């Protein structure tokens, strides 16, 4: 186990993101509003990843 501060951990996580940022509450709210729209019934079993590119397309 390595000793690392919260700030250092967050910076490492930020660097892993292809956008260089974290997903914001506003972005999550936008996604929820999209999913609640009547047109969202076309989304069936499709994942909606709000990870700011950290997973880089991995499942």
Write a three-state SS string for 1-27: CCCCCHHHHHHHHHHHCCCCCCCCHHH
**Cβ 51 vs Cβ 23: under 8 Å:** yes
Does some domain include residue 54? no
Does some domain include residue 31? yes
- Calculate the alpha carbon distances from 55 to 2, 3, 45 in Å: 23, 24, 19
Structural domains in the chain (count) = 1
Does some domain include residue 25? yes
Digit-coded pLDDT (tens) for 1-59:
789 999 998 898 888 888 888 999 999 999 999 999 999 998 888 888 888 887 765 55
Does some domain include residue 58? no
């Amino acid at each position: 186990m390595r000793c690392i501060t919260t700030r250092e951990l967050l910076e490492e996580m930020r660097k892993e993101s292809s956008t260089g940022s974290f997903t914001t509450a506003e972005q999550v709210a936008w996604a929820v509003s999209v999913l609640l729209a009547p047109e969202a019934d076309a989304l069936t079993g499709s994942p909606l990843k709000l990870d700011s590119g950290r997973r880089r397309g991995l499942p």
